[in-house]
């Protein structure tokens, strides 16, 4: 008997859900820590990761998948590097690091 496998999409990867062909039902994502490798521990970096879900334009997602495939970098590593670079750019434009927020973010789009 041949078993059909598919590559999970970014929503599955970021939310921690199994791909649809596994027969599992999707549940809301939770902030579950993921243990990191020894190298991160030795460099005294955070040893835990949290999962989150976000939406992407389909063409951006395809470009991300292509970049991950050709570079052999994990999608999560590419996304994390991009987010860190954007935060650095925003902090530079702001003139300093942003202070810690006073309360949790509200879900959905910010009110302008």
Segment 41-97, tens digit of pLDDT: 555 456 688 888 889 999 999 999 999 999 999 999 999 999 999 999 999 999 999
Average pLDDT estimate for 10-19 = 57
Residue pair 61/10 in contact (Cβ under 8 Å)? The answer is yes
Residue pair 22/28 in contact (Cβ under 8 Å)? The answer is no
Classify residue 16 by its DSSP letter.
Answer: T
Tokens of 92: 């530079």
Residue pair 18/24 in contact (Cβ under 8 Å)? The answer is yes
Q: How confident is the model at residue 105 (pLDDT cuts 50, 70, 90)?
A: confident
Dihedral pair phi/psi, residue 2, rounded to 5°: -90, 135
Q: What is the pLDDT of residue 45?
A: 56
Q: What is the pLDDT of residue 28?
A: 47
Mean residue pLDDT across the chain? 76
Tokens of 102: 């006073």
Rounded Cα distance, 77 and 51, in Å: 13
- DSSP H or E run through 39: helix 38-42
Q: How confident is the model at residue 98 (pLDDT cuts 50, 70, 90)?
A: very high
**Alpha-carbon dihedral angle through residues 74, 75, 77, 83, given to the nearest 10 degrees:** 170
- How many Cβ atoms are within 10 Å of 78's Cβ, its own excluded? 15
Q: How confident is the model at residue 111 (pLDDT cuts 50, 70, 90)?
A: confident
Q: What is the pLDDT of residue 58?
A: 96
């Amino acid at each position: 008997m041949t078993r059909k496998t598919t590559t999970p999409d970014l929503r599955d990867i970021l939310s921690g859900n199994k791909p649809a062909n596994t027969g599992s039902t999707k549940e809301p994502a939770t902030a579950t820590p993921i243990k990191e490798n020894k190298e991160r521990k030795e460099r005294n970096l955070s040893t835990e990761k949290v999962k989150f879900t976000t939406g992407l334009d389909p063409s951006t997602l395809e470009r991300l998948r292509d970049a991950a495939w050709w570079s052999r970098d994990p999608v999560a590593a590419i996304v994390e590097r991009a987010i860190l670079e954007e935060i650095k750019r925003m902090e530079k434009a702001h003139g300093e690091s942003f202070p810690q927020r006073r309360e949790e973010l509200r879900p959905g789009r910010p009110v302008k």
